[in-house]
């Protein structure tokens, strides 16, 4: 098993979301590596790239990994409708996307689950999307 693909995958996911017109129309540049600490910087919506679990996916001839990672939509609004629109845009941008992870390749990129939560102000709504990326090393 190798964790060598993790940074390249996170960078590729960030680039994909940042450059996707539908995602950008909803959150602009508000895509982060960590949650904003207690403040939302006046943003109604923002996205964080989060937790990750890696499982082995290798063979005698190559390394690989199954990466399950979270993308979370944070909303300062009372309802879920806007956050669900962002979740839809993120899914469209990532599912089966051909992300650049260097010399390695993503064999599969799928949504595993989505979870909605009510929070306390300032972030009143959260949607966490869990994706699975299967990476085959060269």
Give the predicted TM-score (pTM) of the model.
0.92
Exposed/middle/buried for residue 90 (C-beta within 10 Å: 0-12, 13-18, 19+) = buried
What pLDDT is attached to residue 39? 63
What distance in Å separates the CA atoms of residue 34 and residue 31, rounded to the nearest whole number? 9
- CATH class in words for 6-136: alpha beta
What pLDDT is attached to residue 4? 86
Rounded percentage of the chain residues whose pLDDT exceeds 90 = 73
Residue spans per domain, the chain: 6-136
Residues 47-103: pLDDT tens digits? Answer: 999 899 999 887 777 788 999 999 999 999 999 999 999 999 999 999 999 999 998
The structure tokens listed for 85 are 């629109």
């Amino acid at each position: 098993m190798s964790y060598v693909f993790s940074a390249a995958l996170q960078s590729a996911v960030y680039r994909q979301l940042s450059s996707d017109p539908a995602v950008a129309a909803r959150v602009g540049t508000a895509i982060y590596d960590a949650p904003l600490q207690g403040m939302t910087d006046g943003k109604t919506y923002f996205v964080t790239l989060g937790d990750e679990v890696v499982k082995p996916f290798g063979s005698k001839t190559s390394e690989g990994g199954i990466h399950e990672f979270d993308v979370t939509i944070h909303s300062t609004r009372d309802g879920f409708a806007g956050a669900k629109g962002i979740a839809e845009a993120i899914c469209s941008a990532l599912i089966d996307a051909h992300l650049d992870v260097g010399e390695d390749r993503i064999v599969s990129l799928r949504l595993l689950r989505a979870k909605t939560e009510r929070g306390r102000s300032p972030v009143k709504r959260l949607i966490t999307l869990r994706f699975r990326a299967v990476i085959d090393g060269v």
